[in-house]
Amino acid sequence: MREFDYTEKWEKLLTPEIVRYLTTIHEYKGEQRLIAERHADVLESLVEVVKIQSTESSNMIEGIYTSDDRLKKIVLDKTMPRTRNEREIAGYRDVLNTIHDSYAHIPIRDTFILQLHRDLYKFENASNGGKIKTVDIVIEEADSDGNKFVRFRPMAAWETPEAITNLCTAYNEAINKNEADPLLIMPMFIIDFLCIHPFNDGNGRMSRLLTLLLLYQNDYMVGRYISIEKLIEKTKDNYYEVLQESSQKWIDSENNYEPFVKYMLSIITAAYREFFDRAQIVEEKKVSKPNRIEALIKNHLGTITKKEIAENTPGISLTTVQRTLTDLVKEEKIIKIGNGRYTKYKWNWDKEH
């Protein structure tokens, strides 16, 4: 049985690069709290947007899709799921809402992880929701020629119940000792959870939900306003690379946590930076809404969609966004590319000369 003990392993992670990440995130954490208190009413409008993004991105990583319109209705609980994909999306929505609303009252214990997994599959007829795997699982990949090979062998099914209990105990002991930075312990816990692979299905999505839960419990609230899952989905290839790096020799307790820890710290840092970009727009109260939209497009690298503009300008309605875009196109300040749902916009730099 693999042992779980973070009391000394975290010290090996204090490389100069990781320490810089930790210092940056700690500084951002204090600043974000102040901004969130000053603009709670406006920033709260970001929460629903982020829930949609997080639900979409975390499921997309696993190949679970539906249309944009259906996704929004399901996340906002305005329709019942029709397909298996939609049922899994609805389950994710409910667990995400539970974490948003009750994170302070969810102990990190095996029984509560099982309950969250049960709710992930609450709309499914399958009986594996909330139950530990009963058969050994092998994680396979296919090369460019279609040949399959074993990427990783998770913990055996018979060892898994005790392993999950021991994992939770090790995490709680490390956090309660208050010696290690929680930002180091959290990703170590997540990579161990993924290597145990406790369930027949849903391990990846559960790991991302647990990531958000652990961040909230340790007072890193940026995930309320910026989707951690979306940032992971955007860097999916790198995500899988570091998972593989940090899982090698895991069963022998000789794995290297550093690649995954460093990756997750970079994701959290990126989330805080994106938050401050949006907060800056919120704090510019004297700037009119059309001018805020204009400034966003001008300062955005590459093209931007109406949806992205709305997500980055809390407190501005879609009607105002559309009206402003129409005016800016007429004034030739921006260029419209494409039509319909694929329409994008970019700043017309040729008019600057």
82 with 189, same domain: the answer is yes
176 with 94, same domain: the answer is yes
pLDDT band at 40 (very low <50, low <70, confident <90, very high): confident
pLDDT, one tens digit per residue, over 154-202 is 899 999 999 999 999 999 999 999 999 999 999 999 999 999 999 999 9
Give exposure, 86-104, as e/b (b: 16+ Cβ within 10 Å).
bbbbbbbbebbebbbeebe
- Which among 239, 255, 281 is the end of a domain? 281
46 with 140, same domain: the answer is yes
Give me the CATH number covering residue 337.
Answer: 1.10.10.10
Nearest to 141 by CA among 153, 133, 128: 153
Segments forming the whole domain that contains residue 318:
288-352
The rounded distance, in Å, linking the Cα atoms of 191 and 203 is: 11
Record the pTM. Answer: 0.81
Give me the CATH number covering residue 157.
Answer: 1.10.3290.10
Which ranges of the chain does DSSP label H, i.e. alpha helix?
16-38, 40-61, 68-75, 84-102, 110-120, 160-177, 182-196, 203-217, 228-234, 236-247, 258-283, 289-299, 306-312, 318-330
Total residue length of the chain: 353
Residue 34 lies in a domain: yes
164 with 180, same domain: the answer is yes
pLDDT, one tens digit per residue, over 248-307 is 999 888 999 999 999 999 999 999 998 988 777 666 555 688 888 898 898 787 899 998
Residue 88 reports pLDDT greater than 80: yes
296 with 343, same domain: the answer is yes
96 with 113, same domain: the answer is yes
75 with 153, same domain: the answer is yes
pLDDT, one tens digit per residue, over 210-239 is 999 999 999 999 999 999 999 999 999 999
Residue 1 lies in a domain: no
251 with 339, same domain: the answer is no
191 with 45, same domain: the answer is yes
The rounded distance, in Å, linking the Cα atoms of 71 and 226 is: 18
Tokens linked to 20 = 């810089």
pLDDT band at 321 (very low <50, low <70, confident <90, very high): very high
174 with 226, same domain: the answer is yes
Residue 3 lies in a domain: no
161 burial level (CB within 10 Å; 0-12, 13-18, 19+): middle
| Residue entry with tokens 């003990």 | 5
16 with 45, same domain: the answer is yes
pLDDT band at 118 (very low <50, low <70, confident <90, very high): very high
Total structural domains in the chain? 2
Nearest to 272 by CA among 52, 37, 31: 31
- Which among 259, 281, 303 is the end of a domain? 281
- Which among 235, 257, 281 is the end of a domain? 281
Residue 199 lies in a domain: yes
Tokens linked to 312 = 């980055």
146 with 241, same domain: the answer is yes
Residue 4 lies in a domain: no
